[in-house]
C-alpha cells in the first residue's frame, strides 16, 4: 500500500514537472495569450485529463508558477536572521558577499528569462514583486522609505535588463547593482541606526 502511494506521488510530481517544463518551453516562443492547454499537453506528452488533475486551466498554472518562481527569487535576498550575508560583525558592507548574492539573483532571472519577460508585461506583477521585495530589503535599510526606493529601483533595473535582451552577463549587471548598494546602503543604515539609538 505504501509503495502504491509513493508511486502515485512520484507520478504526480512527474506530471507536474512535465507540464511546467512544457509550459516554459512554449513561453520561450509563444506569447502567453496564444498558449493553449492543448499545446501544453502535446508538448508535455500527457493527456488533457492529467493536466486538469493538477491545474484548473493555464491561468492557474501561470499563477502557481509565479508564486513558486518569485518565492525562489525572493529567497535569494535572505532574511534579517542572515544579515551577515552582506554586513560583517562590525556592520561593514561586504562587497564580495553582496556581489556573490547578486550574481545568484541575476542567474535566477536569466534561467527564467521568458517567464519574467511575460510577467513584466503586466503592471500588477511588477507592483506585487516590488512590494514583496520591500519586506526583504527593510532589514538591511532599517527604514521603509529607503527600502521602497531600493525595491522599486531594483525591479525597474531588472525590467530594463530584460528589455535589453540580457546583453550583459549576470556578473556584469550584478557589479553595477552592487556598486549602487555599496554607495547608498551603509550610509543610510548608519543614519537610521543613529536615529534609532537617539529615539530609543
CATH, residue 20: 1.10.10.60
DSSP-derived secondary structure letter, 84 = G
Task: Find, among 89, 85, 88, 91, the residue nearest to 196 by Cα.
Answer: 91
DSSP-derived secondary structure letter, 166 = S
The answer, yes or no, to whether residue 2 has pLDDT greater than 50, is: no
70 in the same domain as 21 = no
182 in the same domain as 163 = yes
Q: Which three cell numbers stand for residue 73?
A: 527569487
The answer, yes or no, to whether residue 128 has pLDDT greater than 70, is: yes
173 in the same domain as 157 = yes
* Final residue before a domain boundary, out of 15, 40, 55: 55
Give CA torsion, residues 24, 30, 34, 37, to 10 deg: -30
Q: Which range marks the domain in which residue 91 is found?
A: 60-199
- DSSP line for 118-169: HHTTSHHHHHHHHHHHHHHHHHHHSSHHHHHHHHHHHHHHHHHHHHTTS-S-
Confidence (pTM): 0.81
Asked if residue 140 lies in contact with residue 186, where contact means CB atoms within 8 angstroms, the answer is no
> How do residues 28-48 score in pLDDT, each as one tens digit?
999 999 999 999 999 999 999
C-beta neighbour count of 46 within 10 angstroms: 18
For the chain, how many structural domains are there in total?
2
31 in the same domain as 9 = yes
162 in the same domain as 88 = yes
The answer, yes or no, to whether residue 101 has pLDDT greater than 80, is: yes
123 in the same domain as 174 = yes
State the average pLDDT for the chain. Answer: 83
The answer for residues whose C-beta is within 8 angstroms of residue 107's C-beta and 6 or more apart is 170
108 in the same domain as 178 = yes
7 in the same domain as 79 = no
Amino acid at each position: 500500500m505504501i509503495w502504491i502511494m509513493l508511486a502515485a506521488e512520484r507520478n504526480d510530481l512527474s506530471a507536474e514537472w512535465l507540464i511546467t517544463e512544457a509550459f516554459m518551453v512554449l513561453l520561450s516562443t509563444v506569447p502567453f495569450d496564444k498558449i493553449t492547454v492543448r499545446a501544453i499537453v502535446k508538448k508535455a506528452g500527457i493527456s488533457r485529463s492529467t493536466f486538469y488533475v493538477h491545474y484548473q486551466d493555464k491561468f492557474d498554472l501561470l499563477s502557481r508558477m509565479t508564486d513558486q518562481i518569485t518565492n525562489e527569487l525572493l529567497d535569494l535576498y535572505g532574511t534579517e536572521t542572515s544579515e551577515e550575508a552582506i554586513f560583517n560583525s562590525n556592520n561593514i558592507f561586504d562587497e564580495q558577499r553582496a556581489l556573490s548574492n547578486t550574481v545568484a539573483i541575476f542567474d535566477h532571472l536569466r534561467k527564467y528569462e521568458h517567464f519574467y519577460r511575460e510577467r513584466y508585461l503586466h503592471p500588477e506583477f511588477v507592483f506585487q514583486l516590488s512590494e514583496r521585495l520591500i519586506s526583504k530589503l527593510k532589514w538591511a535599510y532599517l527604514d521603509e522609505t529607503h527600502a521602497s526606493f531600493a525595491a522599486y529601483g531594483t525591479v525597474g533595473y531588472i525590467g530594463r535588463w530584460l528589455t535589453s535582451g540580457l546583453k550583459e552577463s549576470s556578473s556584469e549587471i550584478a557589479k553595477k547593482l552592487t556598486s549602487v548598494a555599496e554607495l547608498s546602503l551603509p550610509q543610510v543604515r548608519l543614519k537610521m541606526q543613529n536615529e534609532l539609538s537617539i529615539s530609543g
